[in-house]
Amino acid sequence: MENQSFDTNWSILQKIAFRFVFLFFLLFIVFVNNGTYPLWGYLMKYPNEWLHHFIPWVGKKILHLSYDITVFTNGSGDTTYDYVILFVILVISLTGTLFWSIVDRRNRNYQMLYYWLTVAIRFYVGLMLINYGLVKVIKLQFSYPGVYRLGQLYGDSSPMGLAWTFLGFSRGYNLFMGIAEVSAVLLLFRRTMTAGAIITLMTTANVMAVNYFYDVPVKIVSTALVTMTLFLLAHDLERLVKFLFTGQAVALPVIQAPEIERRWLRIAKWIVKGLILGYALIYGTIQVLGARKQYGDQAPKPPLYGLYQVDLFVKNNDTIPPLMTDTIRWNQLAIQWPGSANIRYMDAHTARYATDADTVAHELEMTSRSDTTQRYAFQYTLDDSGIFILNGIQQTDTLLIRMTRKNLQEFELVKRSFHWINEYPYNR
């Protein structure tokens, strides 16, 4: 491999474009880091508190949004807050590019800054994908379809819910995706950067496509990952095209790093890189394994775990028939996670409840997550055959509900196993 030289002349357009890209990517990495860099969350604690005041002000005073920004980055990375941050980054980058272009006309190139920008991007994309990959290899991000999903109609799921169910079904496919994403470790080394970027482009493009076409709220970050990966590949693009489409032999240059004359600094650089890599792989794995105790397929099941089909629903001594238009009678009760339950009513609408179960006194309290005045207080029995009986009150109404726990192995999705031979397509 050849080294890319610092002694080159860039065109005016190249320099202007680089100034913008440099500012935009660095600002994005700083403010949309998602804890990718070690200890970054601690460093950004106070700046983020300031942003939580500044960004809503920009939304109201500059962009004249018709609503206040009260929701900040959470499980969704596509909140209004995130888009306004993106707007601010864009404005600062454009303004900074203009000012930089006015005051700096003498530099022949920005090869040194280019090198450090690639370092920031390589570690940002690489560490983020290693984290994403680990939660797939260990299968934490996408859970196997649980009791709520198995009892849900296809048409009642959201596009994201459908995608999560599809991706969570297969342990093998998660392993395949995870290994591909963990391969982003190649980005952390200059000599394997191009190979890592090619693999990363395929994985991030697939992630971005799922996010866009299944309405998964990580569109901003996934688009940035694809864009940054393309930036890393840009200096090899012409050579890769020649190799792939003309068969010409090419040499891919290694991005030249600044010379470090002192030996102890060279050693320190490798120690720091080793610590970062160890943090990503070892500490990341420990964290994910620990998280399995609370989330994912290996998480402990609550004592009343199951999908229950309602056979009898009596309210104030009146038996309510199972009419599909009924908005009061329960159809199913799904208990999948400790402290939580989902009720599916006969008319197919659902409601989430917080639960508190006392398995000694056989008492179950349920409180609506959307309206805390809606509460149930039950005495219950659950026998070995799966007959689950609730007897209690909701406000001033008395309720008697008898249910049968469904055998999850009877669902076609669960019992259908892998087959090498299929005489006919089994597409149901």
Q: How confident is the model at residue 170 (pLDDT cuts 50, 70, 90)?
A: very high
* Residue intervals in the chain for CATH 2.40.128.270: 306-410
Regarding pTM above 0.85, the answer is: yes
pLDDT in tens, 18-32: 999 999 999 999 999
pLDDT in tens, 294-303: 888 888 899 9
**Start-to-end CA span in the chain (Å):** 53
Identity at 68, one-letter amino acid code: D
The pLDDT score that the predictor gives to residue 247 is 82
H-assigned helices in 216-262? 219-234, 237-246
Fold of 306-410: Lipocalin (2.40.128)
The pLDDT score that the predictor gives to residue 270 is 85
In 3-state terms, what secondary structure has residue 407? Answer: coil
3-state secondary structure 313-330: EEECCEECCCCCCCCCCE
pLDDT in tens, 229-243: 999 999 888 898 888
Q: What is the rounded average pLDDT for all residues in the chain? A: 91
Burial class (CB within 10 angstroms; exposed 0-12, middle 13-18, buried 19+) of 95 = exposed
Provide mean pLDDT across the span 44-62.
92
Tokens of 218: 């990580």
Q: 52 — phi, psi (to 5°)?
A: -65, -15
Non-local (6+) Cβ contacts of 263 within 8 A are none
Residues of the chain above pLDDT 90, percent = 68
